[in-house]
Structure 1
Amino acid sequence: MGAGCVGCSAAYHLADQGREDVVVVDQGPLFETGGSTSHAPGLVYQTAGGKMMSHMAAYTRDLYYDLDSYRMSGGIEVAYTEDRWDLLKRKREWGQSYGFDGGELLSPAETAERIPQINEAVIHGGYYLPTDGKAHAVDASREMAERARDAGHEFYGNTLVTDIETEDGAVEAVVTEDGPIACDEVLVATNIWGPLFGEMVDTDIPLVPCSHQYLVSEPLEELAGAEREIEQPLLRHQDFSEYFRQHGESYGVGSYNHEPLLVDPEDIYGPEKLDDLGLEYPSLREFTAEHFYENTHPDHEKSAYDAARELVPAFDDCDWEKQINGMFCFTPDGMPVLGPDEGTDGLWWSLAIWVTQSGGAGSVVAEWMENGVPRLDGERIDATPAHISRFQSHAGSREFTYGRGAQQYREVYQLIHPREQPTDQRTLRRSPFYDRQDELGAEFYDTNGWEVPQWYESNESLLDEYDVPDRPDWLARNWSKAQGVEHQAVRDKVAMFDMTTFTGIEVTGEGAMAFLQRLLTNDMDVSVGRMRYAAMLNEDGGILADITAARLGPDRYLLTTGGGNSATIHSRWIRDHAPEDVSITVHDSSRSGIGVWGPEARELLEPLVETDLSNDGFPFYSVRETYLKDIPVTMLRLSYAGELGWEIYTPTEYGARLWDIVWNAGQEHDITPMGWEALASTSLEKGYRLWGSDVTPEYNPYEANIGFAVDTETEFIGREAILEAREEGIDQQLVPLTLDETGMVVDSGHPILDGEDVLGYGCRADYGYTIDAGIVYAYLPTEYAEPGTSVEVSYENERYRATVESEPLFDPDMERMR
C-alpha cells in the first residue's frame, strides 16, 4: 500500500527479485499521489551520521540517476558558527568513511564561487559533495512502476484502503472501497498515514506527521540566465534549520525554523476529509506566514526569513511565487520504521522515509521480504537502527510519540552532541537503585526509556588519586573525568555497576538444548552450571547478537544480552525461531542486577553469599543460583570490564536491598560506583565486543575476530554462509589500534588512512586509562591487520599516527579474570 517513491521502489525491487504477483494501491492518483513524494523538494544529501542512512541515500542516488530522475548538482552545507565548521570537518570524514569520493571543505570564497548569490561574510566555510543532488521523486516513482508493470505488477490509484483482514494472526486480505484483495503479504509504505494502518492490526506505529515550510521566490536578478544544464549545488544552512535549491531563475527555501506543527493522520485520510481541506495534496497545509516571518523556533534567535535573507540577500523584499506548509513525518528517534510486524504474519512496514533514502529503503525491504534478510543492493546491511521491534512499550503512547516527534522535528538540522540528552518524556523506566544513584550524583542518560548512569559526580573527588587526561573541546562536552576515575578504580580495588538494563532470556523445555544448538554458533551442550559465549547469526552469517548462555539445569538456560532495543530485537528473533517444546521468558524489567568487579570483589562478596566463591568452587564462566544474605540471586562469574567479579541478578523487588547490602559491605574496600562510560572504556581496553557498534549484521564472526565462539561441528543458522565466506577468504578483520600520541583520543566514525587510501573507519573509540593510550577499533583489510602496522586516523581535518595492536590490549593472559 502506497504508490509514492518508497512503495514504487519496493515494487520495482520485488520485481527484480522475481515476484510477479504484486498489487500496489494508493488513495491518490498515480503517481502524484498526494503524499510527501508529491511535494518533496527531493534533496539527496548523502552524508548522514550513520552508515545505513548514508548508504541508502547513495543507493537512491545511483538508482534514480539510472532512471533519469536525478540531477547530480552537488550539495554544500555551510557553517554559520565555529561549532558547525568543526562538525563539517567531521562530516567530511564520515563521508570518506562511508565511501563518498570527492568531498571537499570549502572556504567562504570557494563556496560563493559555486553559489554566487550567498553572503560569504557570514559563513566560516562549507562541506561540498559533488554527487549530492536533486531527485525527481514523482518521475522516479512512475519509471519504477512501469518497470514493475513489465514484470506483471498491477497499480491502482484512487483506491481507498479501509481495513487489513487477518485470520489466525496472519494477513488474509486488504479491504478497499472497491472490494477486498486477497493476499498473504502486505507492505505498508504510506508514510504519514502509517499509524492508521497500525490501528487496523493493533500495532503501535510511533510516528507523527509534521508540517514544514517551502517557498519559491520570484525570478531573481542574481539568477538571471540560469536556465542551463548545470545547476548550482544544493545549499543547507543548518544553523538556522534551512535549505535552498534552484528553480531556474528562482530560488527555493525550505524551513524547519519554526515551532513543530504536528498533524493527526486521522485528519488527512479519506475523501471527505481531503475535500474539506481544499488543497492540492492531502499532505499540504495552508501556508502560515507567522512561522516564516516571526521567530517561533525555541532554539533560534532569528526568524526563518531573517536568517534566509542574511545568507541570501537577494531574498530581501522579494515576492514569492509559491508558499506551502508541506507534510512529512518523524519517529521518536528520527529513524525509519522497517521490517516485519511482530503480531501479524505477512505484514511489513516501510515508513518514515524521506526521498533521500527512498530508493535504498525499497531495496532493503524487498530483499528482506523475499530472502528473510535485509540487504542493500544484495549486500549485508545493518538495518537494526530502523527495525520496527526497536521500540519499547511506552513508545506506542501518543504523549511519547508526539513529544519526541516534536523534538526530532525541532532538532532535525540542529547541532546536537551525541551525548546530549532529551529533557522531555524522562524517568519512564528506573531501576530500583535510581534514588541511591541520584544521591551519588549519577549523570543519567536516556536509553530506550531507562535512566542509565553514565558516571557519578561523587567520583570526581578521587581525581587527586587518579590521573585522567584532558579531552579536546568537542569530546569533553557532556563528559566527566569521573569516567577515567571509575575505569582505574575498578582495576585498582572494586566497583559496582547497575546491570538492570541487561536482558535475561530464559529458555526452558525438553527441546531447549537442541534449539540453542540451532540458534547459536557455539556448542551449547555444556555441564549444568557452566556458560558459553556465542554469536547469534542470520542466514547470511551476519551477527545479530553476541550472547552469554548459562545452563541452569538440564532443560533450562539463561541467555544474557543488552538492554533497550537489543532486548526487544534479540528476544523477538529467539521467540520467532523457538519450537513448540520450548518456552521463552524475557526478563527485560522483572529483574535487577549489579556487577561487582575488581581485585577485591571476592573479599567483598565472600561474607555475603551462601556459596563457595573460590576458584575451585566457583570457577570462571560458571553460574550459581544462591542467596546473598536473604536475597535470592543468580550469580554469573564474568565481567564485561575484564576483572575478577560477578554479575548478580535478583527479582526487581529485591533490588534496592541488594544495592544497600553490597554498598554497605563495600565501604571498607573503598567501593566505587561505576557508570556506563567507564564500562565502555574498560571493555574496549579488554577487547570485548559491543553489539551495535563493532559487531553488527554487516559482519560475520570471522571478520569480527570472534571465530573462537564458532563450533562448526554443530548445525546453526548461518553456518553455511560463514563456512562459504571462510572458504573464499576473509578480506577484512576487526582489529585494535592505539594512537601514537599519548593522551590523544578521537571519536568513532572517522577514516583510517594509508596515504590517501581509506582503509576503513573507527567503529568504536575511547581512551584506555590503564594502557594510557587512545584506542580505536576498526575493520581493516587483512593485509593491514598485522600487529605493528602503522596507519593514520583522520579527526577534524588533522591526521594522527596509529599502530595496529594484538588484542586484548589489557591482561592478554586473562590472569585477572581467572
Structure 2
Amino acid sequence: MTKPIPSKARAVIIGGGVSGCSVAYHLAKLGWTDVVLLERKQLTSGTTWHAAGLIGQLRASQNMTRLAKYSADLYVKLEAETGIGTGMRQCGSMTVALTEERKEEIYRQASLARAFDIDVREISVDEVKGLYPHLNTADVKAAVHLPLDGQCDPANIAMALAKGARQNGATVIENVKVTSVLTKDGRVTGVTCEQNGETFTIETDNVVNAAGMWGRTLADMSGVTLPLHACEHFYIVTEPIPNLQRLPVLRVPDECTYYKEDAGKMLIGAFELKAKPWGMDGISEDFCFDQLPEDFDHFQPILENAINRLPMLETAGIHTFFNGPESFTPDDRYYLGEAPELKGYWVAAGYNSIGIVSSGGAGMALAQWMNDGEPPFDLWEVDIRRAQPFQKNRTYLKDRVSETLGLLYADHFPYRQMATARGVRRSPLHEHLKARGAVFGEVAGWERANWFAKEGQEREYRYSWKRQNWFENQKEEHLAVRNGVGLFDMTSFGKIRVEGRDALAFLQRLCANQMDVAPGKIVYTQMLNARGGIESDLTVTRLSETAFFLVVPGATLQRDLAWLRKHLADEFVVITDVTAAESVLCVMGPKARDLMQKVSPNDFSNAHHPFATAREIEIGMGLARAHRVTYVGELGWELYVSTDQTAHVFEALEAAGADVGLKLCGLHTLDSCRIEKAYRHFGHDITDEDHVLEAGLGFAVRTKKGDFIGRDAVLRKQEEGLKRRMVQFRLTDPEPLLFHNEALVRDGKIVSTVTSGNYGHALGGAIGMGYVPSEGESETDILASQYEIEIAGVRVKAEASLAPMYDPKAERVRA
C-alpha cells in the first residue's frame, strides 16, 4: 500500500540512509512529530547498505570524539528500544604501526584518547599476538588497543533509527523522489516530489539534505554549495574460515587496510593512496543497492600486503569482491548545519567512509541545532559554512577526492598539505613569491607562502613528527620579524564592507567592543552568541560615518558573512564581500618604520600614526590604506592595496628593504610569532563554545556601551566567576615540539588539551596554549601548580603564564 504524502510538515528530510534516519529519529525524540523522511528508492539503498560498520570512538578533536562516543552508546541502546538487532558489539579495535613515524602518531593519539577519557592502552607486540594470533607481527613497531570500540550492522542501524523515528511520530516514505525545494525571500517554503507518476507539494520551513552522493546535485538546484563527490571504495569478504575466533577490528594504516571478523569470515577493506572518483556525469536515477564494476588490478597490491599480514588469507576463498561508491569531501570532514545561502536548508552529508560511526551523533547534533537555533557545542570542523563556493566545481572535486580517500589512512603529519586541486585562488604576488623560493600551502583554496626555501634547497615538505626540513628557515624568518623587519603576503584575509545608514547600530548589536569610534580607528572585537561564546574574531576599521571594513581569517569568511546576514533585521545596511578587491602586505618588526619611511613620504611616527589607526598613504607610485595592527606582536602595518597595484607596491618595498635587511616570511612564521605573543587563533584557541572572558579576551568587551548579543552572558560570567582560564605554556626542554591536541597535565592529572602549539624561536622552546579548569581559583592558585604536557606518552615539564610570555606589556607593538 502506498503511504499518503502529507501536505504540510515541520521538516522534510531528503535521503533514507543512516544519516537521514538519524536526523528523523532525533527530531522526533525532541517532539517534532510532523517530520517526513522521503527516500527516492528504499532505505539504505545508496551507501549505507554496503558500509563496513566500524565503530571507532577516537576522532581528531574532543567534539568529534563526543559525537562518535554518542553513536556507539546509541547503537547499543537502539536494539532494546526498537526490537531491531543492530549487530553492535564492542569487540575492541587495534591499530598497529610499521614505522617509527606511525608509532609516534598512534602514541600521540593514545595520549589524546586519555585526555578525552577513552579507555586506551599502548600494547606490546606479544600482546598484539595474544589479541590477534593470526597476525604476522615481524615488522610491527607498536600498537594501541581501544577495548570499547566495535562493529555493527549498518543497514539494521538505519532501519532501527527509522523505526524509532516512526515510534515517536515521524513519517518515513519510500519510493518518493524530491524534484525541487521551493523558496521565497531567501528561505525554504516547501518541496515538490513525485510518487507513482503523481506530483505533490509539501509545505515546510525546514529541509534536510541527507542525500549522500546525490547531495551536491540536489543542493545545486537550490543554489546551495555542498562540495562532495563519490569515490569507489573496495573490500573483500572471504569464505568462512574454520575455527576463526572473534577478533578486534584491526587497522594497519601503513598498508592502507582494515580487517573485520564477521560471522567466521574476514572482511578486508582499503583506503588506497590514490582513489578512483566515480559518477562525474551524474549518478543514474535507477541506482539502488548497486555495485560498481570489479577492478581487481586496482585492489591487487592491497591484497598482496594483506596476505603477508594475515597468512591464513592465502588459503581462504573469496566470497565477495565488493566495489561501491561513497561520498568524499575536499577536506575529509563531513558537512552539518544550515546552508549560508538559504534559511531553513540544512545539511547532513559527505561522510568520507565514517558515516556509520558519525551519523548517530551528527543526527543528534543537527536536530538540536534545528530545535534551538544554534549548535549544541562547537561544530566548526564539520560546519557547512566552511565550504567555499568554488569548491562545488566538479573538475576540482574529482581531482581532490582522489586524494582525500587515501588521507584517512595516510600519516597525519603536522603541516601536511594537499597535493591535488591546487592553485585555484592566488594572490597577485604568487609568481613573485614563487620566484623567491616560496613553498606554498593552501587554505580555503588560497595558495599561501608557508616558508621560503634558500638557494639550492628543495622546495617541498619532508614530513615528520620531529623537526621538518623548513624548521631552520622558519627560525630565520621568525628572528627577522623579532629583530629586523619581515614581509608577509596576507591577501587571503577575508574582507567585508558593512555600510549604510544603520551600519553603526547593526555592528554595535553584533560586536562586543565599542564600535562608535572616530573614522580611521581600528577596533579588535569578537562577535558573540547568546552564551558568550565566540562566533567570530575580527578587526573592524571605521572608514566613515556610514562605512566599516571587517577583516576576518580566510577560512572563516563564509561563516562570518552568514552570521552577519542572519542577524540583519529591518535595517538599512549593505554587506559586501570585497576579499578579491585588495591584497594585504604586512610589514612587521622593529625596523618596520624605517622601511615605511623609505617607500612613502607620509609620517609614520606614533604622533601621526598611532597603534589601532588606519589612513591612506602614498607608497612607491601607488596608494594604500595602512592599518597599524599586528598579529605577530611587533611594530608594523598591514597595507591594503588595490589588486592592480599590488605587484608595484611589493617591488617598491623589496627594493627599499635591501638596506634594512627585509626578509620575506611565510605563514608558519606568522603562527610561531603569534603563539609567543599568546594571540588567539579562531577554530583552535577560541570557538563558539569558548566564553570570551574565559578565553582571556575581556579587554575587548564593553558591557557599558548598551545591549549586544552575548552581553547578558558576559555579565552572568562576571558575577559567577570563571570555570576555566586560557593559559600559555613553554616546554622547559627545548627539543620536543607541540602542534595541538597534546594532553595537558596539572599536578599529575590530565585536565585538558593543548589548543594550539608552535615553536617559540625567541623564547627558546615549544609554546602551547590551552584551557585549565580553575573554578573558584585565583591566578596565584593556577600558577602555583606543576604543569606537564604529554607528547606521545612522554610527559614534559612546562612553565605556565596567564600573561603573554613575550612582551607582556605590548611595549614593542606600540613602539
Question: Which string of whole-angstrom CA distances, capped at 9 and with x for unpartnered residues, describes residues 662-684 of structure 1?
Answer: 11111111111111111111111
CA 1:519–1:244: 2 relative to 1, 3 Å: same
Cross-structure match for 1:217: 238
1:368 aligns to 2:366 (yes or no): no
Partner of 1:117: 134
Residues 601, 644 of structure 1: 8 Å contact kept: yes
**Cα deviation, residue 407, structure 1:** 0.9
Displacement over 6 Å in runs of 4+? none
Equivalent of residue 255 in structure 2, options 213, 234, 240:
240
Structural mapping, 1:741-780, within 5 Å? 741-754=733-746, 757-780=749-772
- The answer for the alignment partner of 1:299 in structure 2 is none
Tell me the equivalent position of 2:267.
Answer: 252
Equivalent residue for 1:291? 298
Instruction: Give the match for residue 483 of structure 1.
Output: 474
Change over 3 Å in CA distance of 1:776–1:459 after alignment to 2: farther
Q: State the distance in 1 between where 2:773 and 2:31 align.
A: 35
Whole-angstrom distance in 2 between the partners of 1:645 and 1:110: 57
Match of 2:37 in 1: 24
Q: Confirm or deny that 1:523 pairs with 2:514.
A: yes
Please say if residues 746 and 785 of structure 2, whose CA atoms lie closer than 8 Å, have aligned partners that are also in contact.
no
Q: Distance in 2 between matches of 1:142 and 1:221?
A: 31
Corresponding residue of 1:92: 110
Instruction: Label 1:119 to 1:210 Cα distance change in 2 as closer, same or farther (>3 A).
Output: same
Matches within 5 A, 1:342-491: 342-353=340-351, 354-375=355-376, 380-381=377-378, 383-458=379-454, 474-477=465-468, 479-491=470-482
Query: Residues 472 and 340 (structure 1 numbering): CA distance in 2 closer, same or farther, change over 3 Å?
Result: closer
Deviation at 1:334, TM superposition (A): 1.1
Letter in 2 for 1:816: R
Among 309, 323, 326, the residue aligned to 2:324: 326
1:738 corresponds to 2:721:
no
How many residue pairs match? The answer is 777
The alpha-carbon distance between structure 1 residues 409 and 478, as it changes in their structure 2 partners (threshold 3 A), is farther
Residue identity opposite 1:45 in structure 2: G
- Could you tell me which of 677, 681, 687 is aligned with 1:690? 681
1:681 partner SS? helix
Shift of 1:233: 1.2
8 Å CA contact retained: 1:188, 1:350? yes
DSSP 3-state at the match of 2:471: coil
Contact 1:789 1:803 in 2 (8 A): no
**Which shows bigger deviation, 785-794 or 694-703?**
785-794
Query: Distance between the aligned counterparts of 1:503 and 1:11, measured in 2?
Result: 36
CA RMSD of aligned residues (A): 2.2
Residue 578 in 1 paired to residue 568 in 2?
A: yes
Q: Which amino acid aligns with 1:78?
A: V
> CA distance change for structure 1 residues 664 and 267 in 2, over 3 Å: closer, same or farther?
closer
Equivalence for 2:158: 141
SS of the residue corresponding to residue 465 of structure 2 reads helix
* Structure 2 residue identity aligned to 1:419: Y
1:269 Cα offset (Å): 4.3
Q: Does the aligned pair in 1 maintain the 2:520–2:542 contact within 8 Å?
A: yes
Aligned-residue identity in percent: 32
Q: Pick closer, same or farther for the CA change 1:411–1:744 going to 2, 3 Å.
A: closer
Q: Distance in 1 between matches of 2:560 and 2:185?
A: 24
Q: In structure 2, what is the Cα distance between the partners aligned to 1:734 and 1:51?
A: 17
- The equivalent position to 1:281 in structure 2, one of 279, 286, 289, is 289
Deviation of the 1:113 alpha carbon: 1.0
C-alpha distance in structure 2 between counterparts of 1:624 and 1:681, whole Å: 28
Any stretches of 5+ residues in structure 2 without a counterpart?
Answer: 1-13, 80-85
Q: How far apart are 1:578 and its partner, in Å? A: 2.8
Q: CA deviation at 1:58?
A: 1.5
Distance in 2 (CA, whole Å) between partners of 1:124 and 1:28 is: 47
Q: CA contact under 8 A between 1:419 and 1:478: conserved in structure 2?
A: no
How many angstroms apart in 1 are the aligned matches of 2:493 and 2:392? 22
User: Given the alignment of the two structures, is residue 105 of structure 1 paired with residue 118 of structure 2, yes or no?
Assistant: no
Q: Structure 2 residue aligned with 1:173, among 187, 190, 195?
A: 190
Letter matched to residue 99 of structure 1? D
Q: CA deviation at 1:207?
A: 0.8
Is residue 459–residue 485 contact of structure 1 (8 Å, CA) maintained in 2? no
Q: CA separation in 2, counterparts of 1:36 and 1:108? A: 36
Q: Is the 8 A contact 2:340 2:559 kept in 1?
A: no
Partner Cα distance (2:765, 2:255) in 1 = 38
CA contact (8 A) 1:506 1:556 kept: yes
- Which residue matches 1:465? none
Return 5+ residue gaps in structure 1 as ranges. Answer: 275-279, 295-302, 462-470
- Distance of 2:289 and 2:648 partners within structure 1: 59
Give 1:260-279 correspondences, 5 Å limit.
260-264=275-279, 268-270=283-285, 273-274=286-287
Residue of structure 1 aligned with 2:546, choices 548, 551, 555: 555
Residue type of the partner of 1:172? T
Change (3 A) 1:602 1:144: same
Contact residue 740 and residue 803 of structure 1 kept, 8 A: yes
CA shift at 1:610, angstroms? 4.8
Tell me which residue corresponds to 2:627.
Answer: 636
Q: Does 1:3 align with 2:16?
A: yes
1:183-215 deviations in Å (ceiling 9; x for gaps)? 221101121111221232133421111121222
Q: How far did 1:149 drift?
A: 2.3
Supply the AA of the counterpart residue of 1:641: V
Deviation at 1:411, TM superposition (A): 2.6
Residue 49 of structure 2 is aligned to residue 49 of structure 1: no
**How many Å separate the matches in 1 of 2:405 and 2:770?**
33
Q: How does 1:489-508 map to 2 (within 5 A)?
A: 489-508=480-499
Q: CA deviation at 1:582?
A: 1.0
Deviation at 1:743, TM superposition (A): 4.3
The answer to whether the aligner puts 1:206 opposite 2:227 as a matched pair is: yes
Please state how far the C-alpha of 1:475 moved relative to its aligned partner. 2.9
Q: Aligned equivalents of 2:91 and 2:718: distance in 1?
A: 42
Residue 182 of structure 2 corresponds to residue 156 of structure 1: no
Q: CA deviation at 1:607?
A: 4.3
The alpha carbon displacement at 1:788 in A equals 4.6
Partner of residue 466, structure 1: none
- 1:64 aligns with 75
Is this contact kept in 2: 1:373–1:539, CA < 8 A?
no
Match of 1:191 among 188, 204, 212: 212
User: Shift of residue 255 of structure 1?
Assistant: 2.1
Q: Give the SS at the match of 2:600.
A: coil
Deviates more, 1:451-460 or 1:194-203: 451-460
Kindly state the Cα deviation for residue 29 of structure 1 after the two structures are TM-superposed: 2.6
Question: How far 1:791 sits from its partner (Å)?
Answer: 1.4
Tell me: CA distance 1:675–1:472, structure 2 relative to 1, closer, same or farther (3 Å).
closer
Distance 1:167 1:473, change over 3 A: closer
Q: Which moved more, 1:703-712 or 1:148-157?
A: 148-157
Change (3 A) 1:592 1:727: same
Question: Of 694, 704, 707, which residue of structure 2 is paired with 1:703?
Answer: 694
8 A Cα contact 1:196 1:265, kept in partner: no
Q: 3-state DSSP class of the match of 1:572? A: helix
SS in 2 for 1:589: helix
| Inter-partner Cα distance in structure 1 for 2:143 and 2:763 | 38
Quote the Cα distance in structure 2 between the aligned partners of 1:472 and 1:81: 14
Partner of 2:513, secondary structure, is: coil
